[in-house]
Amino acid sequence: MILGIDVGGTHTDSVLMQNRKIIRKSKVLTDKNDILGCVMRATQAVTTADDIRQLKRIVLSTTISTNAVAQNQLDTVGLIVMNGPGVSPKDLPLADKTHLIAGYMNHRGIEAEAIEDDELETLKQQFAKDKIEHLAVIGKFSTRNPAHEQDVGSFFADKITHVSLGHHQSGVLNFPRRIATTYLNAAIWSLHSRMVDQLAGYLQELGVNVPLFILKADGGTIGVEQSRNYPVQTILSGPAATIMGVLPFVSSTQDSVSIDVGGTTTDIALFADGAPLLEPKGVEIEGHKTLIRGLLTHSMALGGDSHVQVVNGALQIGPERKGSAMAFDGPVPTPTDALIVLGLADIGDKAKALRAMESLATTLQQTPQQVAQSIVDSMCASIATKVTQMVSEVNSKPVYTIHELLEGKTLNPQQLIAVGGPAPYLAKQVGELLQLPALVPENSDVINASGAAMARTTVELNLLADTESQQLSFAEDGRKVQISSRATVDDIVAIGQERLLEIARAAGARDEDLEVEVADCQSFNVIHGYATTGKNIRVRLQIKPGLIKHEEQV
């Protein structure tokens, strides 16, 4: 048995699953001040004592980190950057928060400029004075040689609660994005760490020793304790949970689009022949361009509980959510009220929903039914327009899925999958506007929780081999090993696969779910004096993202 829990902004959903089938499901209200209490109530709503004893894994997706960034509820961070030559500091992200220091590695990982201890000592005194407890340290080309980052981190370790190092966040080269990623990791570390502590208490209260995972932005899972050092990876796990939940219903031979209509937002995702699309450079959140590996989604501030009002004589839906629908004793009219008045949704108090529409109808000099229809029509049209725009944007660039770059691919969705509370009432109309058949999967109201429950553990590893110096470095942890001067691409891939499997098992992956993919591979000759003296080989490996195998398939 698997327990999946999705802590959303409005509701905390939970599902108890066995062999990919939902045995029980539940929704409880989310209390942002008591996440542990929400998780406990969600667990109790779907499990018995006997169920809990049979659990094999628990997976959680949460909006906590995402909301902290969106609402700028971030810890103050001591941001130390070793810039070196080539990029003006003012052109780097977070320049106003940055402390630039000496120290520079070149593109081959060889020290070109040493760190100056006097600078570090001055900064240490300043951080102590300003009571800064969280540090982010980023050096250019640190993925080629992390020694400077490690030395700076060690220098501050006795005075700082936590240090986030740039090379730990991603092995992919992109200095500006690494700065933003490492900064966010440090800024949300204490918030995430408190949640990890609470979840440890949660397991203790359940009385079980079962693996507990948290969903990442790429649709894969990571062990909760291991996630303590990489909280930034859990940003945007909510939309990723939707995509993993939708995956079993996506055609493997056609392109598809999914919409997740929630209370506050609608999230849109695309699939190429059954594979979710990936943000090729990393996700962007609140203007921060990061190296966080994440699935491609677009979010609109439009949902079932969006505030509907008359502005300058016309209906305006959202972007704010003031509370529940008036049919559920909320304060303002919403699209949910409109659906109830039209008889599309048989929920809530219809008399209160009617009063919500009457308050708008009087101003517009229309009937409540006319206003309700206009709200639903406007909402469906907005979603369809956004889908069309997203497809057009994707087709203007190379198409990346979670597995590969699709050369020359033009996305042409043939299927619409609609999930979320209001989805059953809107799917047909949105589908007609897009000229697509619409599918609303069973249990679509808890699709995020089931998606989290079924997600595999994913791990990525980047390797750089220099056969001239006979060294191979693992970008994410800075480890170096000796290799032969005659090492080939196949040799490097084999070494990387062995290390990747070690990391994946340590992160909680099951052997039956370990499928290694070579996500990228490049080889360049090193030329000295008109002669080839070696090769630079770069390899990126990943555990293939997807859904876990259930017992019948093992």
d(CA 255, CA 195): 38
The continuous run of DSSP H or E covering 378 comes out as helix 368-395
Closest CA to 229 of 214, 210, 211: 214
Confidence tier at 550 by pLDDT (50, 70, 90): low
Residue 554 has pLDDT above 60, yes or no: no
d(CA 254, CA 411): 9
CA angle 306–310–313, rounded 5-degree value: 150
- The model's pLDDT over 226-265, given as tens digits with 9 standing for 90+, comes to 899 899 999 988 889 999 999 999 999 999 999 999 888 8
Q: Which of 78-82, 279-283, 299-303 has the highest mean pLDDT?
A: 78-82
d(CA 137, CA 479): 18
Residue 376 gets the label, from left (phi > 0), alpha (psi -120 to 50) or beta, of: alpha
What one-character DSSP code corresponds to residue 172? S
- The model's pLDDT over 518-536, given as tens digits with 9 standing for 90+, comes to 888 888 887 777 777 888 8
- The model's pLDDT over 433-478, given as tens digits with 9 standing for 90+, comes to 999 999 999 999 899 999 999 999 888 888 989 899 899 988 887 7
- The residue ranking higher by pLDDT, 259 or 405, is 259
Closest CA to 317 of 286, 338, 345, 340: 338
**Contact indicator for 28, 11 with CB cutoff of 8 Å:** yes
d(CA 139, CA 105): 8
Kindly give, in sequence order, each residue whose CB lies less than 8 Å from that of residue 406, ignoring residues fewer than 6 positions away: 272, 398, 399, 400
- The model's pLDDT over 126-149, given as tens digits with 9 standing for 90+, comes to 999 999 999 999 999 998 888 999
Question: Which pTM value belongs to this model?
Answer: 0.86
d(CA 265, CA 152): 42
**Contact indicator for 413, 424 with CB cutoff of 8 Å:** no
CA of 351: how far to CAs of 289, 355, 357, 424, 527, in Å? 47, 6, 10, 22, 79
d(CA 254, CA 412): 8
Residue 553 has pLDDT above 60, yes or no: no
Q: Is 197 helix (H, G, I), strand (E, B) or coil?
A: helix
Closest CA to 116 of 100, 140, 92: 100
The continuous run of DSSP H or E covering 494 comes out as helix 489-506
b (16+ CB within 10 A) / e for 116-145:
eeebbeebbeebeeeebbbbbbbbbbbbbb
Joined tokens for residue 364: 């517009």
d(CA 150, CA 152): 6
What one-character DSSP code corresponds to residue 57? E
Q: Is 484 helix (H, G, I), strand (E, B) or coil?
A: coil
d(CA 200, CA 197): 5
